[in-house]
Every structure is written in C-alpha cells, then in structure tokens.
Amino acid sequence: MKILLAVTGGIAAYKSLELTRLFIKGGHEVQVVMTAGAKEFIQPLSFQALSGKPVRDSLFDQNQEAGMGHIELARWPDMIVIAPCSAETLAKLRMGRADDLLTTLVLATDKPILLAPAMNRLMWSNAATQENVAVLTQRGFEVLAPASGEQACGEVGEGRMPEPQDIFHKTLENLEKHAKNNQAWLNLAAFWAGKSILITAGPTFEAIDPVRFIGNRSSGKMGFAIAQVAAELGAKVTLIAGPVHLPTPKSVMRLDVESAEQMFNAVQAHYQKQDVFISAAAVADFRVALPVQQKLKKQPDSDSMTLELVKNPDIVAWVASQENKPFVVGFAAETQNVLAYAQDKLVRKNLDMICANKVGQADNGQLLGFNQDSNALTLITKDRHLALPESAKSLQALALLEFLSEQLSFESV
C-alpha cells in the first residue's frame, strides 16, 4: 500500500523514523512529507534513507513539483498518516488553511487521514486543541489519542505520541476498513460468501525422541493471513496448523497438529466438501523411522550418530489425486530456479494452481519469505501467471483470493 507519512514539528518526530521502517518492512511504499517545524528536529536525509524516496517539503520547489505535482501527490497514497501532529497543524487543518505542502495536500485529497497528535499535556488539554480535535473527528479524520506518561518537557501527563508499533497497526486497520468499503472488496465477498476453504499452515515437527524434533523455519504467517482474509470475505475456513505461535483469526475453525502424519490425518478427515484446498504448510518430506520413547543418551564411545528417515506422505499430491477433489493450491518455496521448479511441481503433483516464492538469503543478507511480514508470490496455473509485487502477507492473501476467484469462475463456466 502507498502511505504518505507527514511529519510535523515536535520532539516525537524521531519516533517517525521507526514508523517509516515498520511500513517499509511491512512491504508498503512510503512518501515522507515534512513541515518546516519537523526539519528543526530531524534531517530529511534520515527519512530519505529509510523510505528510499526524497522527502517532499515544499509547495513551491520547481524540482519537487516537476517529479509529481502536489495535486498528483494528494491522489497518490492509499492513506495519509500525520505523526507527530502538532497543535499548530491541528489548528491549521481545522481552519482549512493551505499555506504549506502538508495543509494543501490535506485539502486536496479524498484519502483517509490518521492523525497522531503529540504535544505538551497542557497544550493537549487546552480547550482550543480539544475543540480542533472534535471538529476534525467529526469531519472524518481518525485521531489517535495521545498516550500518557513522561514528557520531553519534564512534565507527566497526556500528550505523548503513541508508540510507532501502535500507529503502524492502527494504519493497517484503517487501510483494511477502507478497502472493505470499496466495490472490489464487496464483489470478492459476494464470490467467497459461503464457500469452504481448507488451509494447512506452518511447519511440521518430526519427533526424534520425546524432547527433540526435526523442524523447519516456517512461521505459518502466510497460511494464517490467507485464513484471516478468506474468513473476512465470508468463506467457511478450516485451518490445520502446525506448531506456530499465532493467534487464531476470527471465525476460523483451527485444528492444531504437530507432525506430517497428524496433518495428513486431519486433511483426510476434512478435505471432502471443500471448494478449495490451500496447502501453505511446509510439510517435512521425511520423518524419523523409529522415534524412541525415552530421551536419547550420548554414547560416550561414539562421535557420530545416524538417524534413519522415511518418507512422509505428500499431502497435497494425495488430495490432488482424489476423485471429487477440491480446487487444489500448492506452495513452492524455493531458494533458486523458482518458476521452473514451481511449474514442475504443478504438473508432477497434479495441482490446479501453485504459489511460488523465493526463500532463503537475499542479496542484502535479509531472510526472504520465512517469518517475514511481507512476501512476493507468483501465482501460476497451467495457462496463467501473475507476479505480485512485494507487499504485506495480508495483501498477498487478498490478491491470491482474487486470482483464485477468477480462476474458479472461469473453470466453472
């Protein structure tokens, strides 16, 4: 998503560096706008380094305007976040002024706007500020109440800017709320209402003995994101989860399993009467042939140890080979040759669709795919390809469900 982050003058401006980092890490595009006051506290270069875009700070700079004029900039974002929002900016917004870039953008946009006011406690509780906030709220601005605590000025009270994490989550919540009101969401919800989806997610743990296991780095976040968005769209979702630390999305029926064999049993018990089966779990290919009942002891006279592994059932291939099977979607997490390997899997496992993504070490040293909040999937069927740009896993899930709805409508014609 595209976020215009406006920073106004206040000591809390430094916290917006972390907020920028969170947006970027979550796969969002960020354009920072700074007021003159903000630049008294932080250098624009810091925001440029984190967002990857030069900061916009002037209404009349010919170079800045030549790139993207202020009216275009007002149309560009999916959401505007003003953090910190000073008492002065609140007053100007309430009056509808247009005497700098930020106030002009706010007047010229119809996008949702989130304000995170931050100021001295007396400035915040002042009747003038409170009245400004009340009027802005009435006009549809979302105002995040400041937190209480120690202030930079040495006083204690209400007026601190909420933590970047909180502003980040509030922004995502708002983006979702607005996405849900638009026509595309409503159409998609009409398609998924009442459809049944079975999803596997997370890793499997294969026991060696009662305390040790063979596992993998899957966090389950992708499968859980699909489950959550599908449930929000009105689908009946059954989620079979390997060992992960994630809360169950609202209205989702969750079954916890540990090993591939347990996951297989759960899938066998539920795959019938489903419209779609999405196999997002990173299922272990092998398990220990004979897990022992007691904790294995080191053998003092031996420097090595051999574990015999046997093949696990291929769950997704099994579902794809059943008569009256649901529409079967697999995942292909690869460290190299992503598309070629994914296509090979699509054919070999007789899947209807596969979602390919690159995992492992990126060139910049970051871990791709696993345990990240963002992802970049390529959706592949036997005659279609769609490479999604990197974005938050919840947005990848939404795009996947949209692609899937087109595919299912197409195949049922």
Minimum Å distance from CB 207 to ligand C5P? Answer: 16
Q: What single-letter DSSP state applies at residue 79?
A: E
Token pair of 106, please? 């706010």
Minimum Å distance from CB 216 to ligand C5P? Answer: 10
Question: Per rule CB under 6 A, is residue 281 in the interface with ligand C5P?
Answer: yes
Give the binding range for ligand C5P (CB under 6 A) out of 58-66, 111-119, 249-257, 329-337: 329-337
Question: Per rule CB under 6 A, is residue 205 in the interface with ligand C5P?
Answer: no
Within positions 35 to 64, which residues make up the interface with ligand C5P, using CB under 6 A?
none
Residue among 8, 120, 228, 279 that touches ligand C5P (CB under 6 A) = 279
85 among known catalytic residues: no
Question: Per rule CB under 6 A, is residue 206 in the interface with ligand C5P?
Answer: no
Q: H helices then E strands: how many in the chain?
A: 16, 23
Listed in sequence order, the residues at least 6 apart from 391 whose beta carbon sits closer than 8 Å to its beta carbon are 1, 27, 28, 374, 375, 376, 399
Question: Per rule CB under 6 A, is residue 198 in the interface with ligand C5P?
Answer: no
Q: Alpha helix locations (H) across 182-309?
A: 183-192, 221-232, 260-270
Residue 88 phi, psi (nearest 5): -65, -45
Of residues 123, 153, 376, 386, which has the active-site annotation? 153
Question: Per rule CB under 6 A, is residue 312 in the interface with ligand C5P?
Answer: yes
Residue among 236, 345, 358, 393 that touches ligand C5P (CB under 6 A) = 345
Nearer to ligand C5P, 82 or 283 (CB): 283
Minimum Å distance from CB 374 to ligand C5P? Answer: 20
Binding site residue list: 285, 295, 313-316, 331, 345, 349
Distance CA(77)–CA(108), nearest Å, equals: 12
Minimum Å distance from CB 223 to ligand C5P? Answer: 9
Give the binding range for ligand C5P (CB under 6 A) out of 191-199, 288-296, 328-336, 390-398: 328-336
Residue among 173, 285, 406, 411 that touches ligand C5P (CB under 6 A) = 285
Nearer to ligand C5P, 216 or 251 (CB): 216
Please name which of 30, 34, 43, 3 lies closest in space to residue 101, comparing C-alpha atoms: 34
Question: Per rule CB under 6 A, is residue 258 in the interface with ligand C5P?
Answer: no
Residue among 4, 198, 283, 380 that touches ligand C5P (CB under 6 A) = 283
Exposed / middle / buried, residue 253 (Cβ in 10 Å: 0-12, 13-18, 19+):
middle
Question: Per rule CB under 6 A, is residue 227 in the interface with ligand C5P?
Answer: no
Token pair of 257, please? 């399993």
The CA-atom distances, in angstroms, between 174 and each of 78, 377, 398 are 10, 24, 16
Distance CA(116)–CA(371), nearest Å, equals: 29
CA dihedral 53, 55, 56, 62 (to 10 degrees): -80
The CA-atom distances, in angstroms, between 7 and each of 89, 157, 319 are 10, 22, 52
Where along the sequence are the contacts to ligand C5P (CB under 6 A)? 260, 279, 281, 283, 285, 312, 314-316, 330-332, 345
- Looking at the annotation, which residues are catalytic? 153
